[in-house]
Structure 1
Amino acid sequence: MMNKFVRSIALSALMGAFLFSGIAGAKEYEIATVVKITGIPWFNRLEDGVKKAAKDLNVKAYQVGPSDADPAQQIRIVEDLIAKGVDAICVVPNDANAMGPVLQKARDKGIVVITHESPNQPGADYDVEAIDNVEFGEMNFACLADAMGEKGDFAIFVGSLTVPLHNLWADIGLEYVKKNYPDMKLVTDRIPCGESAEESYKKTMELLKTYPNLKGIVGFGSLGPIGGARAMEKQKAKPGDMAIVGTVMPEHASRYLSRGLITKGFLWDPADPGYAMVAVAKEILEGREIKDGMELPMMTGPKAITLDGNIIKLNAILEITAENARELGF
């Protein structure tokens, strides 16, 4: 009896040691998210999603980015992460083409690459899109047209001339205007300033001097409409003097929406793609296939995806108005 008891104790100890060793040796994936620029409200909110995904999914996930929306700085950060040997890199590119070779380098070393706001990104395993980009582009310009009475001069702000999605929305919107609003006129080429409220303020002031009949601005880049609204505030404009629509953070834009200096905002909750990129990376790292209709864990519960090639689509367009801006909570 004693020998059986001793053997039982020994076997239990051995199994316990094996299980502990398995747990201790379990892989904690390191997933780095590289954004266009740090310290602005949009990417602060995206980081909320990254941090929540790290906690919920039991991975080491974090966010980094350049101090300016500079493609070269962003590429250097990705190079450093490759050298560090992270398991996955998630990127919101400043310049899709410039980023392509370094992302391919990461994939060649076995690193999973996920992008956001960069459909058809060279060097990416998958790209996560929170919205239907055609619908989003058309909604912004339809709102602008309505606020302008479907006629008059307008301008477009983008984050930069190399930001993929901003320029795609502009292309979609201009085609939409051409087909539907023949009395609307783009006064100048799209203006790169949407990642800086100060720069978009300056550009709006310049536009008002050069084009005194300007009636509208579409701002892509969450600080473009903010700078435009500040310029109209400086001009002591009244609601309706200038139609300003585009991507905005609700809390940031609420005071301008309530005063009629921003007409309406369109976006998605940036935390959702922050979370989704980390979730997709973990799925791939654990050998699971990304399938159309599968549900991803998200900030507010699972969401079904639409898979279009290697583009993962969510349907999460939000309209930001004076009435709901503060209620949205970010």
Structure 2
Amino acid sequence: MPDSSKGLGGFNRRDLLRLSVITGAGLAVGAPLLSACSVDSGTSGGAEQSSTPGATRKAIGNGITEKKELAPFQFGGPAGEKPGIPKRIAWANTSDAEFFLQITRSIELAATARGLEFVTAIANDDSAKNVEQIETFLQRGIGALCIQPLDANAQAPLMKRAIEAGAAVMSLVTPPSTSQAVADQYKVGNTQGLAAAKYITEKLGGKAKAVYFNIDTIEVLKARHQGVLDGLKSAGSGVKIVSDVQPSALTQDGGFKAMNTILQAHPDVNVVVGGDTHCLGALSALKAAGKDRPEMYLSGIDGDEQALAEIRKGGAYKASFAFAYPLMGYAWGQFAADWLEGKPIPQVMQFNAVELNSAEIIDRYQADMKAVAETWKNAATYFTLLGSVRYQERDQFINYAA
């Protein structure tokens, strides 16, 4: 049976965390009072002493508030002024989910390699605790803060305060930040749709009855939706999208139920695309109805371990498009060290969705994620790095969801 565990609004806990990472949808669990945090808006002129030891706090304005085209990042740019702040990197982790722990291990590995102290704390999805832990980091003194969205409104003043104190703030999609890790959702969806179209053209004679599971209640994923549809349509008029629907819950059970309903009207569906969670549920429904066939094409997004296991079997589940979270953590550690040496770091780290469609490719991907220090040399496979900023230009922080 598919996984039917549900969290807030029908989302299970792991999927809520994953979506907060890739979409920037902060998990608003109640904004705590910030009066005890001594938060300054940074609008006063001049400089003042920061609560961060060894730093002089500097007003930095509002940063870059409108989206702009950023040039490709180039390694080896000239170093500038060095910040006189502690060589310490902090990771304000919100959960003990496995992919967050992978990020933790990778940050620590890079920090150790570059002679930085690494500190972390887990908030267990408690917004007030998360804010308290960040405040503790700032009081102790840090050179870099790594952070992901939990309650973006509550986190933002502390993130700006860290930037004012001279620290690099490296975030998963949440502004304000020195460097943001994001995903181009249209590109992610289009990559998935084009891969399905290629299979339809080469293996299904250009004819398909396709199902797409969207998640349009999350605004930024509408771009992914359009990308998938544009990709599918590239296979020509033989492709019929017989159902484009959002299941009732972001769980495997949600996908299972939606697929059962679809099969009643369209029993000859042969292509299913969406997120791994929904598509795994759909596969369970196809199996239960005796309609799963090896020549079918199912693909998901996220690199879910269960999806990868299905791909290895060589059946209907053909591909999953994954994101290199462990490598991102290692990059954060490296960029923190560069920042403290006055070197430039990228303003945006854009995830490239990696197509995992065979046991060989899955093995290579998993090996890369286990050996991030080596993989780092070929990071362009997994990330597109854009923009450039140094400590002395810290007023050019990104203040929009890139």
TM-score surpassing 0.5? yes
Structure 1 residue 170, shift from structure 2 partner: 3.1
Q: Is 1:54–1:62's contact at 8 Å kept on the other side of the alignment? A: no
Q: Percent identity?
A: 14
Q: Is 1:126–1:312's contact at 8 Å kept on the other side of the alignment? A: yes
Q: Is 1:251–1:325's contact at 8 Å kept on the other side of the alignment? A: no
1:144 and 2:192 are equivalent in the alignment: no
1:99 and 2:157 are equivalent in the alignment: no
1:206 and 2:243 are equivalent in the alignment: no
Match of 2:363 among 309, 315, 326: 326
1:156 and 2:213 are equivalent in the alignment: yes
Instruction: Indicate how the Cα distance of structure 1 residues 234 and 266 shifts in structure 2: closer, same or farther if over 3 A, else same.
Output: same
Q: Is 1:251–1:329's contact at 8 Å kept on the other side of the alignment? A: no
In the alignment, the residues of structure 2 paired with residue 64 and residue 184 of structure 1 have an alpha-carbon distance, to the nearest angstrom, of 49
In the alignment, the residues of structure 2 paired with residue 204 and residue 167 of structure 1 have an alpha-carbon distance, to the nearest angstrom, of 18
| Partner residue, 1:14 | none
Instruction: Indicate how the Cα distance of structure 1 residues 227 and 33 shifts in structure 2: closer, same or farther if over 3 A, else same.
Output: farther
What is the RMSD computed on CA atoms of the aligned residues?
A: 3.8
Gaps of 5+ in 2: 1-83, 201-205, 368-402
- Superposed, 1:41-120 pairs within 5 Å as 42-61=99-118, 73=125, 75-86=127-138, 87=142, 88-93=144-149, 99-100=152-153, 102-109=155-162, 110=165, 112-116=168-172, 118=173
State the Cα deviation string for residues 240-297 of structure 1 (Å, max 9, x = none): 345233331568613443231321122243211111123223333444332xxxxxxx
Match of 1:185 among 227, 241, 264: 241
In the alignment, the residues of structure 1 paired with residue 280 and residue 207 of structure 2 have an alpha-carbon distance, to the nearest angstrom, of 23
Q: Which has the higher contact order (CA 8 A, sep 6+)?
A: 2
In the alignment, the residues of structure 2 paired with residue 282 and residue 192 of structure 1 have an alpha-carbon distance, to the nearest angstrom, of 45
Is the partner of 2:272 in helix, strand or coil?
Answer: strand
| Partner residue, 1:293 | none
Larger Rg: 1
Is the partner of 1:248 in helix, strand or coil?
Answer: coil
State the Cα deviation string for residues 164-197 of structure 1 (Å, max 9, x = none): 5x55433432344467656442724444866xxx
Q: Is 1:250–1:326's contact at 8 Å kept on the other side of the alignment? A: no
Gaps of 5+ in 1: 1-24, 68-72, 291-306
1:30 and 2:89 are equivalent in the alignment: yes
| Partner residue, 1:39 | 97
In the alignment, the residues of structure 1 paired with residue 222 and residue 115 of structure 2 have an alpha-carbon distance, to the nearest angstrom, of 36
- The one-letter amino acid paired with 1:39 is A
In the alignment, the residues of structure 2 paired with residue 84 and residue 281 of structure 1 have an alpha-carbon distance, to the nearest angstrom, of 19
Q: TM-score scaled by structure 2?
A: 0.54
Q: TM-score scaled by structure 1?
A: 0.63
Give the number of aligned pairs: 266
Structure 1 residue 211, shift from structure 2 partner: 0.7
In the alignment, the residues of structure 1 paired with residue 353 and residue 197 of structure 2 have an alpha-carbon distance, to the nearest angstrom, of 23
